[in-house]
Amino acid sequence: MRYILKAYEMKMYDGDTIERIGIPSMVLMERAALSVIESLSERNLMPQKVLVVAGMGNNGGDGLAVGRLLAEKGAEVAFYMAGNPDKMTEETRRQLFILKNLGFSIQSKLELAEYDMVVDALFGIGLSRNVEGEYLTLIREMNRLGKKGAFLLSLDIPSGVCADTGRILGEAVQANLTVTFAYAKRGHFLYPGREYTGKLMVKDIGITESSFLKGRPGAFCYEKEDLHRLLPKRKPWGNKGTFGKVLLVAGSYDMCGACVLCGKSILRAGAGMVKIITPSCNRIILQETFPEAMLYTFEDKPHMEKVKNSLDWADVVVAGPGIGMGNGTKELMEYLLKDKRCPMVIDADGLNLLAAHQDLFELAAERGEGKLVITPHPGELLRLMKMDMEVYKEDREKLIFTLAKGLHCVVAAKDAVTLVAENGREEIYMNTSGNDGMATAGSGDALAGIIGGLLAQGMDCFFGACLGVYLHGLAGEEAAGKKGRYGMTALDLVKELPFVMTFYGPN
């Protein structure tokens, strides 16, 4: 698990480390610069001819120190500084003083020579508005040198990327490598900033969790090493009941695939049994393609007595994939929602039904804490919130928290970076696994199934949803590794899930 910070959080922990703990800021800066040299040597990158482009803030100070250390290692280093020297921070002023004492000079005009590395130290997490004028020209110049073959190394964050949102404030450096200090920032993972970050390396510089006294970071993500402890432990003595029974309400006349993709994901995630409620037109297909599943198929509308029996049997309900919005689906959802005993995952048309019928929305909200996970994609989220795309782009996180509060539930809001929030919990999970190959029909059905399968094994709604999202992305990475991002399908992803869980898991 690692934290993903906003700029103000980083500044708060930075400040605490310097003021309360007592590590001088110049020590942190030297460690930051040393960690950059270490990162380069880990990647076998030792440049000969380097240009450092530094701003007046502390990011610029980092850049001057990195340049000095590269020169110590034998590189020919040119320095250029932009901005008003009156605004130079104390630490950066000190770095400049050191450079001058060592005989280095700062170019008064940017020399357009050939460089094999450009160190981008123009802006770090202090960037607060759009870049203009000379800054804009410099960012373009760095990118031009990058296109000509120079390696673009950004310190902390590519200049021009907003550390909190990943937005591009005017224009940004298209880094090959970003070395960031202490913790990753949101802008490294949120698009479009993620595309500008290149390879990300996070380096320890002495700022630690002991500085979290005034508040913990608001976002975290998982890493592969975490799976060992996160996956539900298998019980060697267990039987199929031990690992959980999932009732899947999915599919309709023209949509059987959702039953298969979601149902298989439930079992592949480790649940013991799955029973599918679906129209009878899907029965033969399911029996042939998915013989592990039990079925209750119905002709016109389901008999509620049969639904009740299935609910009594289930430990978890997954409802919505491919059910459509017609013929009895509202009544079915209403019946499922009224039975509040077991946790429920609602996806796809299940969510569209909640959006279309206020009484269903209210029933869902009445299930109470720890009983509901919803997995909307952006369209479903906006339908549920009755908002338009502009609001989503403006403040997606706020929307997600509002929805979690309104439904007293866990929201796994799918997108290229899926976020998971829970009513009453301040921190948000920010997913870093996956790729654009997952933008393929049925991939969302797989996610609902994986989460259902994890809940069936006893996981709590929030952590089950976070883990499900992470595993889903990892399985997507494996599928892309084998089939490529163009041609991989949702079923390819589902097939990789057991590998991901076994390879990184505890068994």
Ligand X SMILES: NC(=O)C1=CN([C@@H]2O[C@H](COP(=O)(O)OP(=O)(O)OC[C@H]3O[C@@H](n4cnc5c(N)ncnc54)[C@H](O)[C@@H]3O)[C@@H](O)[C@H]2O)[C@@H](O)CC1
Ligand Y SMILES: Nc1ncnc2c1ncn2[C@@H]1O[C@H](COP(=O)(O)OP(=O)(O)O)[C@@H](O)[C@H]1O
The pair of structure tokens assigned to 124 is 């770090």
Residue 505 marked as a ligand binder:
no
| Nearer residue to ligand X within complex by CB, 28 or 250 | 28
Q: Spell out, one character per residue from 96 to 125, where the chain touches K ion: x when CB under 5 A holds, - when not.
A: ------------------------x-----
Q: Give the residue with the Cβ less far from ligand X, 10 or 497.
A: 10
Token pair for 76: 């020919």
Q: Does 416 bind ligand Y (CB under 6 A)?
A: yes
377 known member of a binding site: yes
Contacts for 323 with CB less than 8 Å, ≥ 6 apart? 249, 250, 251, 252, 255, 258, 329, 332, 348, 349, 350
Known binding residue 128? Answer is: yes
- Cα distances from 108 to residues 75, 94, 249, in angstroms, run 21, 19, 69
Among 3, 35, 57, 71, binds ligand X (CB under 6 A): 57
Q: Is residue 159 near K ion by the rule CB under 5 A?
A: yes
Q: Is 361 left (phi over 0), alpha (psi -120 to 50) or beta?
A: alpha
Four-CA torsion 234, 240, 244, 247, nearest 10 degrees: 150
* Binder of K ion out of 25, 92, 95, 154 (CB under 5 A): 154
Q: Which stretch binds ligand X (CB under 6 A): 59-67, 269-277, 421-429, 438-446?
A: 59-67
Choose from ligand Y, K ion, ligand X, none: what does 436 bind? Cβ within 5-8 Å by kind: ligand Y
- Residue 154's binding partner out of K ion, ligand Y, ligand X, none, with CB under 5 to 8 Å set by partner kind: K ion
d(CA 324, CA 348): 9
Dihedral angle over CA of 211, 214, 219, 220, nearest 10: 40
Is 60 annotated among the ligand-binding residues? Answer: yes
Is residue 434 near ligand Y by the rule CB under 6 A?
yes
Tell me if 241 is assigned to a ligand binding site: no
C-alpha to C-alpha distance for 106 and 478, rounded to whole angstroms:
48
Interface of this chain with ligand Y, residues 358 to 397, rule: CB under 6 A: 377
Residue 181 interacting with ligand X (CB under 6 A): yes
Count of positions on this chain that bind ligand Y (CB under 6 A): 17
* Residue 129 in contact with ligand X, rule: CB under 6 A: yes
| Parallel/antiparallel/unpaired status of strands 294-298 and 419-422 | unpaired
List the structure tokens of 9.
């959080």
- Residue 262 as a binder of ligand Y (CB under 6 A): the answer is no
Closest-approach residue to ligand Y (CB): 444
b/e code 173-208 from CB counts within 10 Å (16+ = b): bbbbbbbbbbbbbbbbbbeebbebbbebbbbebbbe
Contact of 66 with 39, CB cutoff 8 Å: no
Which range of residues in 72-80, 103-111, 440-448, 458-466 is near ligand Y by CB under 6 A? 440-448
Contact partners, residue 338, CB within 8 Å, separation at least 6: 363
62 in a known ligand binding site: yes
Rg (CA), the chain: 26
- 402 touches ligand Y by CB under 6 A: no
322 is in an annotated binding site: yes
Please report where in the chains the tokens 């076994």 appear, as a residue.
502
Q: Which residues participate in the annotated binding site for (6S)-NADPHX?
A: 58-62, 124-130, 135, 156, 258, 322, 377, 445
What does the binding site for ligand Y look like in residue numbers (CB under 6 A)? Answer: 377, 414-416, 418, 434-436, 438-439, 441-445, 447, 472
User: Which residue ranges make up the site for ligand X (CB under 6 A)?
Assistant: 14, 25, 28-29, 32, 55-60, 62, 87, 89, 123-131, 135, 155-156, 181, 205
Binding-site annotation, residues for AMP: 444
